[in-house]
Amino acid sequence: MELLAFIVLIITIYLWIKNRRKEKLRIYLIEPYVKIDNPIPLCGAPDVVWINKQETLIVADYKNRFNVYDSDIIQLSVYRLLLEKTQRNKVARYGFIHLKNGKRVKVDLLSNDEVIKLYHRYQGITGGTVRTRYTNSAGYCQYCRYAGNCR
């Protein structure tokens, strides 16, 4: 009986410590459509926007897979810029990707300047004024409409 009580105590302490490590979040918005024209025209709808105890907004997206990709970080970074321009609350420099296996992965987001540079590069590529180039990962190229334009 003492061993059972000891095991229950250890499990309780473990769960309490594990629970304290995760940031406590509340839902702020669910799939809000957000649009801006300044500094660049953007629109999007994050799956969820969390708010923490400090009233800081945190963008998150749910993925039906087990990995986080660079494109996910770009997507969340765009959402961050959208929220910064449309909400009064501060927006965190990180976001969360919720994966199919239940994991919540914290990712550092791009700065607003990096998002704006990506936008202008994309406009240049689609407008034909910027030449595309190969990436280090062939997996990115297989679905790219502009792969034939690469050097």
Whether residue 149 is predicted with pLDDT greater than 70 in this model: the reply is no
- Does residue 28 form part of some domain? yes
- Does residue 61 form part of some domain? yes
Q: What's phi and psi for 28, nearest 5 deg? A: -105, -50
Predicted confidence (pLDDT) per residue in 86-145, tens digit: 999 999 999 999 998 888 899 999 999 999 999 999 898 888 888 777 677 767 777 777
pLDDT attached to residue 139 = 72
Of 39, 118, 122, which is closest to residue 74 (Cα–Cα)?
A: 118
- Does residue 145 form part of some domain? no
Please state whether the peptide bond connecting residue 39 to the residue before it is cis, i.e. omega within 30 degrees of 0. Answer: yes
- Does residue 1 form part of some domain? no
Rounded CA-CA distance 4/39 in Å is: 61
pLDDT attached to residue 125 = 84
Domain holding 107, by residue range, is 21-133
pLDDT attached to residue 20 = 55
111: tokens are 């700065």
Rounded CA-CA distance 13/131 in Å is: 57
- Does residue 106 form part of some domain? yes
pLDDT attached to residue 151 = 57
List all residues 6 or more positions away from 54 whose beta carbon is below 8 Å from its beta carbon: 90
